[in-house]
Amino acid sequence: MVNRGRQTLIGGWGRATQSRATELTPGTDDDWAEIIRSAGSRGLIARGGGRSYGDAAQNAGGLVVSTLADGSIGDVDPAAATVEVGAGVTVGELVRHLAPGGWTLPVVPGSSGVTVGGAIAADVHGKNHQRHGTFGRHVATMTVLTPAYGMIEMSPTVNADEFWATVGGLGLTGIIRRATLRLIPLASWWVSTVDEEQPRLQRVLERLHAAAMSSEHAVAWVDPGGAGVITMATTARLGALTPSRAARRHVTPTLPGRGIAWPPLTAAANAARRAAVVLRPRHLRPLPDLHFPLDTLPGWPRLHGRRGLIQHHFTVPFGAEHVLAEALRATRAAGHSPSLAILKVFGAANSAPLSFPAPGWSLALDFAADPALGPVLDRLDERIAAAGGRVYLVKDSRAHPDVIAAMYPGLARWRAVRSTLDPDRLLVSDLARRLRLADQRIADQIGASHA
- pLDDT, average across residues 127-132: 96
pLDDT at 296: 79
Confidence tier at 448 by pLDDT (50, 70, 90): very low
Domain 82-185 classified CATH 3.30.465.10?
yes
pLDDT at 24: 95
The count of residues in the chain is: 451
What's the mean per-residue pLDDT of the chain?
A: 93
CA distances from 160 to 3, 37, 138, 140, 152 (A): 35, 26, 14, 11, 12
Spelled out in words, what is the top-level CATH class assigned to the domain 190-239+255-405? Answer: alpha beta
Assess whether pLDDT exceeds 50 at residue 19.
yes
**Per residue in 346-371, pLDDT tens?**
999 999 999 999 999 999 999 999 99
DSSP string, 323-356: HHHHHHHHHHHTT---SEEEEEEE----S-TT--
Confidence tier at 96 by pLDDT (50, 70, 90): very high
Angle at 234 between CA 230 and CA 239, to 5 degrees: 150
Assess whether pLDDT exceeds 60 at residue 173.
yes
For residue 229, what is the DSSP state? Answer: E
Q: How far apart are CA 182 and CA 106, in angstroms?
A: 8
pLDDT at 415: 97
pLDDT at 12: 95
Assess whether pLDDT exceeds 50 at residue 279.
yes
pLDDT at 250: 65
Q: How far apart are CA 429 and CA 59, in angstroms?
A: 5
| 112 within 8 A of 95, measured Cβ to Cβ | yes
| 139 within 8 A of 215, measured Cβ to Cβ | no
Q: How far apart are CA 209 and CA 199, in angstroms?
A: 16
Residue 445 or residue 113, greater confidence: 113
pLDDT at 424: 95
**Per residue in 384-436, pLDDT tens?**
999 999 999 999 999 999 999 999 999 999 999 999 999 999 999 999 999 99
pLDDT at 155: 98
pLDDT at 299: 87
**Domain limits, the chain:** 82-185, 190-239+255-405
pLDDT at 298: 77
pLDDT at 10: 97
pLDDT at 443: 31
The two most distant CA atoms of the chain are separated, in Å, by 62
For residue 244, what is the DSSP state? Answer: P
Assess whether pLDDT exceeds 50 at residue 235.
yes
**Per residue in 66-87, pLDDT tens?**
999 999 999 999 999 999 999 9
Q: Report yes or no on whether pTM surpasses 0.85.
A: yes
Confidence tier at 247 by pLDDT (50, 70, 90): low
| Backbone dihedral angles phi then psi of residue 98, each to the nearest 5 degrees | -80, -30
